[in-house]
Amino acid sequence: MAGKVSGNLDEMAEINVTPLVDVMLVLLIIFIITAPMLVQGLKVNLPKQDAPSIAADSDEPLVLTLNTDQIIYLGDEPVHIELLADRLGAALGGTPRPVYVKADQDLPYGFVIKVLAILDGVGVEQVGMVTQPEGR
């Protein structure tokens, strides 16, 4: 009788890995398909400059993108310069958060200064200018 019990345990000790492999392959295909969608963004010709990286804070920064057509994007949403202060105020919600500015290198200096003045008027204390390393 003891022999019969140990025989059943040997059969139950094997694990069928086929469903596990099937699930992993499906997940791999999903990640391969969705990964390029996560990289989409706005095309901006960033200036090249060697600068130290900024340490990540616990607050999620706002990203302000300025392209060559002098169109301002708050995140991925275009914003007119006259409405920028209101939109920034609503996005900040009274809490201090850093704002990263991605400005095209071919923009007029005066336009960038005008946007920085709006940031100052809203009360943004931390502004980061995004650049690319010179080697790229």
- Which pLDDT value is given to residue 82? 92
The predicted model scores a pTM of 0.57
CATH number of the domain that residue 90 is part of: 3.30.420.270
Between 60 and 81, residue with greater pLDDT = 81
Instruction: State the average pLDDT over residues 65-85.
Output: 89
Domain range for 20: 2-38
Which neighbouring-strand residues pair with 99? 62, 127
Tens-digit pLDDT profile for residues 15-24: 888 999 999 9
- For the chain, what is the domain count? 2
What tokens were used for 20?
Answer: 């596990």
